[in-house]
Amino acid sequence: MLLQYLIENLENKTVIGNTNVEINKIEYDSNKIVENDVFVAIKGYKDDGNNYLDEVISKRVRCIVVEQDVDTSKYENDNLTIIKVDNARIALAIISAVYYDNPGKKINLIGITGTKGKTTTAYMIRDILNASGKKAGMIGTIYNTYGDVKIEATRTSPESLDLQKLLYDMVNAGMKYCVMEVSSHALALDRVYGLKFLIGVFTNLSEEHLDFHKTMDNYLESKAKLFNMCDLALINGDDIYAPRLKKMITKKIATYGIDNEVNLSATDIRVNPSYVEFKMYVNKMLETIHINIPGRFTVYNALAAIGVCSLLNCQMDAILLALANVKVPGRSEVVDIGKTFTIMIDYAHNPSSLEAILLSTKKHAKGRIILVFGCGGNREKEKRSIMGEIAGRLADFTIITSDNPRNEKPKDILKDIELGIKKTNGLYKIVENRKEAIRFAMRIAWKSDIIIVAGKGHETYQEFANNKKVKFDEREIIKQIASKMEDKNL
């Protein structure tokens, strides 16, 4: 592709050098640069592409896109073209779309944003669309999928270059829809810049990522960006931030919920340890919805999915079938071990999600709630004691254990959590080794007890210092422990 064609949509650009030249490909990772590439120097959360300009230019890169002035006198690269722009991230999004022939215009995009519920809602919508014969791919926290392709995700929303490549591959594979989790980071960092969404979904908003956004106002403003990129916004009308969000949106709005007056609602909600059922009117017909994911929040996720798919003319038979069979790794995932107690894996890794899973479970629990959880290292420390207090208040017994300690000492993290649980009368025990913590929980569980193993969800590893990842699949571990247990809890 000609460089001239690639950059023609960039505004306020300053060009130094020749643009009537062929380029190889685009990169923002200096490790992937080869001769005749275009390198876009973006400032990451932890690293800055501008620090690698010497390296990429020495590799005979064809063009660099930067926000700062570059002294070319020290380089021996006669073929180098420099494009100076106001915002390198926006530039990356624009040229990536051009390079991949604007795939976002050839596929119907459905975006989902919010603190909780994005992943489950995305799975539900994807499965309903496929059950309706509408070929759909999905981009999200756990996997990026389309057809028979499944790629493990490294972040909720990919960088714009990687995102455009995914959309390009989906279009070529015949996908007509893409269901995408859109994180607040992606919106704030312009990873989805220039895309047009058919429908945007808002699930909820609670405190998270404040190490990045600093304030809840900033967090909300980042989320709101999605809805002015959509034709229609579907909003959880029960969320406390819904009224403020609706005032920030200029597009058509529909609402869903349980408690307030909304466009789409549920009645006769029944929550059990392993499933949820509710009723709702669809086209003046009262339908019963069954989903094998327990929790009141499942109703909200299902309402959002039904709302989206109804707008896309999916038949009710396909909706009922897909929701009855949907499975989401690590989201209220019940592990079948043939015991008389229930054990569930959930990704709850912040105060609001931990409180939500405990409150929801408490409403239908016939026995005790035994909670196994920890907190990740190198993350918001202030949430640890808050989560400890929530655990002590809502669980019958808590086992505080290690999560992903990363570069922190596990014992320091456990002490932070313990400060919170000591504020309550909650019973607890500290077992640093996560496998042993799960084993202890299963050993003390009796008939009708519910064990919640929280924090890691879909993850199949533990992360230690220096980015070392060790295999740790909680499903496998739980089944291994169960196979060696005596049936004392009959």
Read off the DSSP letter of residue 227.
Answer: G
**Are the beta carbons of 33 and 97 closer than 8 angstroms?**
no
Between the CA of residue 399 and those of 248, 404, 442, 468, what are the distances in Å?
Answer: 43, 16, 11, 25
Structure tokens at 197: 């969404």
Q: How many residues does the chain have?
A: 490
Nearest of 328, 220, 210, 203 to residue 257 by alpha carbon: 203
Read off the DSSP letter of residue 407.
Answer: T
| Model pLDDT for residues 358-407, shown as the tens digit of each residue | 998 998 899 999 999 999 999 889 999 999 999 999 999 999 999 999 99
**Are the beta carbons of 356 and 297 closer than 8 angstroms?**
yes
Read off the DSSP letter of residue 225.
Answer: G
Q: Which residues contact 141 (CB under 8 A, 6 or more apart)?
A: 118, 119, 153, 156, 181, 458
* Residue 274 pLDDT grade (very low, low, confident, very high; cuts 50, 70, 90): confident
| Model pLDDT for residues 221-233, shown as the tens digit of each residue | 999 999 999 999 9
Q: CA–CA separation, 321 vs 109, rounded Å? A: 23
| Model pLDDT for residues 464-483, shown as the tens digit of each residue | 999 899 999 999 999 999 99
| Model pLDDT for residues 40-61, shown as the tens digit of each residue | 999 987 789 999 999 999 999 9
Helix (H, G, I), strand (E, B) or coil at 258: coil
What is the secondary structure of 72-124 as a DSSP string? GGG---TT-EEEE-S-HHHHHHHHHHHHTT-GGGSSEEEEEESSSSHHHHHHH
| Model pLDDT for residues 86-141, shown as the tens digit of each residue | 999 999 999 999 999 999 999 999 999 999 999 999 999 999 999 999 999 999 99
Instruction: Calculate mean pLDDT across residues 332-338.
Output: 93
What domains are defined for the chain?
A: 3-99 (3.40.1390.10), 103-325 (3.40.1190.10), 333-483 (3.90.190.20)
The reported pLDDT for the residue numbered 213 is 61
What is the secondary structure of 179-207 as a DSSP string? EEE--HHHHHTTTTTT--EEEEEE----S
Q: CA–CA separation, 319 vs 306, rounded Å? A: 7
The reported pLDDT for the residue numbered 490 is 38
Q: CA–CA separation, 382 vs 351, rounded Å? A: 10
| Model pLDDT for residues 403-460, shown as the tens digit of each residue | 999 999 999 999 999 999 999 999 999 999 999 999 999 999 999 999 999 999 999 9
Read off the DSSP letter of residue 30.
Answer: G
**Are the beta carbons of 127 and 151 closer than 8 angstroms?**
no
What is the secondary structure of 112-150 as a DSSP string? EESSSSHHHHHHHHHHHHHHTT--EEEESSSEEEETTEE
The reported pLDDT for the residue numbered 487 is 60
Q: CA–CA separation, 219 vs 89, rounded Å? A: 19
Arithmetic mean of pLDDT over the chain: 94
Structure tokens at 426: 């909650």
| Model pLDDT for residues 289-302, shown as the tens digit of each residue | 999 998 899 999 99
